[in-house]
Chains A and B, each alone.
Chain A
């Protein structure tokens, strides 16, 4: 009874931006609610209870279904399911389970070795590798080896920040942009074309190439935007279809004269000029490049756009209730088009990152990887808030980077990372499930619900 469910309050932009803050806010909210319920709540509880200590409140909230706890527990659940998958797919370990009743220690140790080694490699590949660190201290290794995991994580995270922001921005305006993949594809095409066709001086060339990517994304975002605004065509369907149109266009374009690498027979384009490549931040041995700085800048810009600008206000108003927004004099059609163009620009920048950074320097059919679809997951995990998206992208980047090491050191397929990512988001999207599994207290659970689309 110390912790009544707090009513949902506040506008979305006041919601916590980071995990640490999330916990703090949850704490603050409950205290406020505590004060608020005292006068009114006296009907059910005649004697006002003694105010619990701050530490007690903190512990209570820690096990309540707030954003931070649910996110953390979703991670835990995903990791557990991932471990189960590893065990059931390993015949050697699985065979120890056939005699688990007679010698349970075998099954337990072999499972533990398999799972802990894999996850340790995931961590070493993405955050910190103690062996590299001691090697550096002993003088046998270099400082680059120590920073390599972080560098990889940031490299993978940078494009995901852009596509995540693209999806999140559209969500806030009430649109579901599944087309980040297609927008990034057109972005990557334009950036690469600008990168190897235009003879420009260094600095300018890079700027033009990055902006060309943004322009490509903007075009591909404009189409579903205008179709939604003028014909009422649902953006989910159109963006899905445009994704494939973009992919086929890319595969066609690569093998055209003037685009294809003249020395190659397979589908690969000419390489982007070095003058159009994003500079590497920590020397040539580490892959981290200026894209991550642009990503942080973009996060800040989107946060500013959403929370401080007129357009952002209109966008959120349209997202919350298009009818009310129109009554208030906001042009819903114009806003829809602008949302999709901005979402396209962001996704297009993500595309630029893929070909101007260190991931690839030429167009191939798979140059965009999955950044558009991953962006959807990143946006959901980041609770469709700009800084949340940045953190989520870092987590996903870390999973990718660590997954590579897990694959080469433990022989666990990189696909496990896809499974983990999907599972995390499934659990995040259904806080009620996480709540039920862990018997969490109901606190602010309603707010966690990401209700977005409105059907076809």
Chain B
């Protein structure tokens, strides 16, 4: 995925003979399926694994015997792998891969849920889905900020700093004014402030963008930490007690089983995040702004020749990215928690991972963020049922998945061609 085009680096050849990408994925799935059917099947108990359609153990549930479930879903994964190995039409590739992976996860869950301590052999789906979205929310905003920035050719490693600054200024000005809306605007401006620094230094002063991103993250940690200790710790009532957005129930949609209570009784940030994915996706691929953004990110010289103001597009997009990430930061302080030092704690980097895993695409980023959020939620859940799987290894999952993706094991990811390259006119 390097744009450096170093020919003696072994790039997977286009014509791979028998071992096409599809077949490689197939054999991997086959192995995973075998592992699931044999190992998970053996470790699962005869307890019923219940997946309840509610917040707790009560109510209707999907039930399956633990051992049978683990083996059955393992076999589904094996079948998906075998299908890919035998060769399926290309348009089915993603669907079959998806079925295979879902089978693997379900097999794993059957084992875990059935092996849980007595009385806890259930998994509340509403809870899990809601938690997944809540944990994915900052990742969604962060990854969208990355999409906006990087599609126009500016590397955004400063997502962490933008989220943090957004969270901080949202909390600070929300508390001082006592209004959530003032807090929201302040959060957007806080994120945009970090973005402005990134834009000015990267575009005007041609500072290396990755370096700038790293330094800005540290700056944001320092400034917010400093002001937190000076203001918020000394007078929390005045500076760190921002009002919170209440949950909004969406009529009709809230009555959908499982999804209704999980998603449509959330706060404004959830709706805003999902809406933004849609808006940015349409904007990027269907509007003039999107075409210009992408052309500036892929080939700024050509764009300039056609009269696109390259630097202006970049400034605007980087600032927009800051606004989006700032609001993402506020999804913490104006909805869930009060501000604490370094409260983003690496989510910005997972957002970066989601951006890359989602291949610089808003919808891809959403799916990646949800996957990472699910891994996070699963770690919490497994901790609650005192599982034998250490939560730290589940927490590693997003990072490992990204490394695999970048290394080309799950297909090739490619950044916008001019990403990270400053444009000097003339």
Contacts and interface: CB of A to CB of B under 8 A. Distances in A.
Interface stretch (A43-51, A194-202, A226-234, A280-288): A226-234
Contacts of A332: 6, 8-9
B215 A426 contact: yes
A244 interface: yes
B390 interface: yes
B349 A236 contact: no
Given A376-B214, A429-B201, A454-B421, A242 B399 contact: yes
A326 B9 contact: no
A240 B349 contact: yes
A418 interface: yes
A90 B395 CA distance: 40
B300 to A, nearest CB: 12
A419 B222 contact: yes
Interface in A435-456: 449-456
B2 A233 contact: yes
A85 B223 contact: yes
A241 B415 contact: no
B25 interface: no
Nearest to A416: B226
A429 B9 CA distance: 31
B420 A456 contact: yes
Contacts of A144: none
B208 interface: yes
A252 B389 CA distance: 11
B1 A456 contact: yes
Interface in A404-444: 413, 415-423, 425-426, 429-430, 432-433
A228 B12 CA distance: 13
B282 interface: no
B226 A85 contact: yes
A415 B225 contact: yes
Interface string B392-407: 1101100110110011
Given A245-B399, A380-B211, A456 B415 contact: yes
Contacts of A417: 222
A343 to B, nearest CB: 16
Interface string A369-387: 0000100110010000000
B356 to A, nearest CB: 6
Given A90-B230, A228-B2, A416-B226, A248 B9 contact: no
B171 to A, nearest CB: 15
Task: Name, among A228, A380, A413, A423, the residue most crowded by chain B CB atoms within 10 Å (CB to CB).
Answer: A413
B206 interface: yes
Given A90-B230, A376-B211, A233 B6 contact: no
Contacts of B225: 413, 415, 418
A67 B31 CA distance: 57
Interface string B356-370: 100000000000000
B210 interface: yes
A425 B215 contact: yes
Contacts of B12: 231
A237 B10 CA distance: 19
A109 interface: no
Given A248-B392, A449-B206, A89 B9 contact: no
B396 A429 contact: no
A110 interface: no
Interface in B342-394: 346, 349-350, 352-353, 356, 390, 392-393
Contact of A233 (B216, B390, B407): B407
A333 interface: yes
A244 B398 CA distance: 10
A241 B215 CA distance: 18
Interface size band for A: 35 or more
A306 interface: no
Given A233-B2, A244-B399, A416-B226, A455 B218 contact: no
Given A89-B227, A422-B222, A233 B208 contact: no
Contacts of B205: 429-430, 432-433
Contact of B9 (A230, A245, A377, A415): A230
B396 A249 contact: yes
B402 A430 contact: no
Interface in B197-229: 197, 201, 205-212, 214-216, 218-219, 221-223, 225-229
Describe B's contact surface by its main secondary structure: helix
Interface string A83-115: 001000110000000000000000000000000
Contacts of B227: 85, 89
Contact of A232 (B210, B349, B408, B418): B408
B208 A453 contact: yes
B420 A333 contact: no
A51 to B, nearest CB: 35
Given A227-B407, A418-B222, A426-B215, A234 B6 contact: no
Interface string B403-425: 10011100000010011110000
B306 interface: no
Task: Name, among A85, A241, A323, the residue most crowded by chain B CB atoms within 10 Å (CB to CB).
Answer: A241
A251 interface: yes
Contacts of A429: 201, 205, 207-208, 211-212, 215
Contacts of A85: 223, 226-227
Given A238-B406, A429-B212, A456 B3 contact: yes
Contacts of B279: none
Contact of A373 (B150, B214, B230, B393): B214
Nearest to A239: B403
A176 interface: yes
Interface string A241-272: 11011001101100000000000000000000
A452 B214 contact: no
Contacts of A451: 206, 208
B390 to A, nearest CB: 5
B274 interface: no
5 contacts: A227-B403, A230-B10, A248-B396, A377-B218, A430-B201
Given A233-B406, A421-B222, 19 more contacts: A232-B2, A238-B406, A240-B353, A241-B399, A241-B400, A244-B399, A332-B9, A333-B8, A380-B211, A413-B226, A415-B222, A422-B215, A422-B218, A425-B215, A429-B201, A433-B205, A450-B207, A455-B420, A455-B421
Interface of B: 1-4, 6-12, 150, 155, 157, 197, 201, 205-212, 214-216, 218-219, 221-223, 225-231, 341, 346, 349-350, 352-353, 356, 390, 392-393, 395-396, 399-400, 402-403, 406-408, 415, 418-421
Nearest 6 CB-CB pairs, A to B? A455-B420, A418-B222, A415-B225, A419-B222, A89-B230, A252-B392
